[in-house]
Amino acid sequence: MPLNHVERLPFGHPLQGMEEAYADPSSGYEPPAAILVEPIQAEGGVNVADAEWLKAIRKFAKDRGALFILDDIQAGCGRTGSYFSFDGMDLDPDIITLAKGIGGFGTPLAMNLNKPEFDKHWSPGEHTGTFRGQGISFIAGMVAMDYFKDDAFMADVRRKGDIMESRLKKMARPGMEVRGKGMMQGLDTKDGAFAKKVVAECFNKGLLLGGCGSEGRVAKLIPPLTIDDADLNEGLDIMEAAMQAVLVPA
Ligand SMILES: Cc1ncc(COP(=O)(O)O)c(C=O)c1O
């Protein structure tokens, strides 16, 4: 499908105007084939979608025969303290996209979970290509599934997520905002140039942070889910010192 057939809307966009446009047969709008949304917008600035908004999108899609696709590529696979970032929201997506964590330890793997009625019924091995999956990711991804046999690992992710959130809230200066869920947390500094300096200072001290959101103003923390408390706190110490160094240069 050509990308110019995709209409992009801001995260959290109200559906009201769209509902009116689609209800009018002369509006020129044709029902979409699918609506795709990230339950937690990661690169867009760690924006956590409101469950009611997601439910409204789901209803909007289903009412028009459009597929409802949730992109959990970055927030899924346990990142937020449950396997899917939208668990417990009663969303019933038609397709879920997964990647990143699905490979277990960082080598490439991606996967779509389709409802059976939308499956193309390919036979095993029929969808082939040069880069279609690699053995080590399949094995590592399969072993990683063992972490989800009970809730112990997810409880630990939620506990470490709480540490991250509370430490970021202490670091945040007036006007800044901490957003996220589980072990995906972002500090919205509201200032791209400032965030860039913090990210660079962290890098110089051995900590990799991603700048995301408008003008890179959100410092995004997505440490390995298996990180121990000492390493997690060391990373947060580096970030805290970097914020201080940028605010009050020596
Ligand atoms: C949530 C999400 N969806 C999609 C993508 C893009 O995936 P790809 O690089 O395979 O196009 C990313 C990449 O960071 C992502 O974080």
pLDDT, tens only, 75-98: 999 999 999 999 999 999 999 999
Asked if the domains at 3-148 and 152-247 fall in one CATH topology, the answer is no
Q: The whole model's pTM is what?
A: 0.93
Distances (CA, A) of 128 to 4, 53, 166, 171, 222: 27, 37, 46, 49, 32
Q: How many CA atoms lie within 13 A of 146 on its CB side?
A: 5
Structure-block tokens of residue 177: 């905002």
Task: Name which residue leads in pLDDT, 183 or 134.
Answer: 183
43 CB within 6 A, ligand 1: yes
Q: Where are the domains of the chain?
A: 3-148, 152-247
% the chain with pLDDT above 90:
78
Using a 6 Å cutoff on CB, does residue 109 contact ligand 1?
A: no
CA of 97 to the centre of ligand 1 (A): 9
pLDDT band at 1 (very low <50, low <70, confident <90, very high): low
Q: Which CATH number fits domain 3-148: 3.40.640.10, 3.40.50.300, 2.60.290.11, 3.40.50.720?
A: 3.40.640.10
Nearest to 235 by CA among 182, 181, 183: 183
Residue 21 has pLDDT above 90, yes or no: no
Mutation test of ligand 1: which of 73, 98, 107 has the most ligand atoms closer than 8 Å to its C-beta? 73
Give the CATH architecture of domain 152-247: Alpha-Beta Complex (3.90)
pLDDT digits (tens, 9 = 90+) for 128-157: 888 777 899 999 999 999 999 999 999 999
Cβ of 73 below 6 Å from ligand 1: yes
Packing angle between helix 229-247 and helix 152-171, nearest 10 degrees? 20
Distance CA 189, CA 172 (A): 8
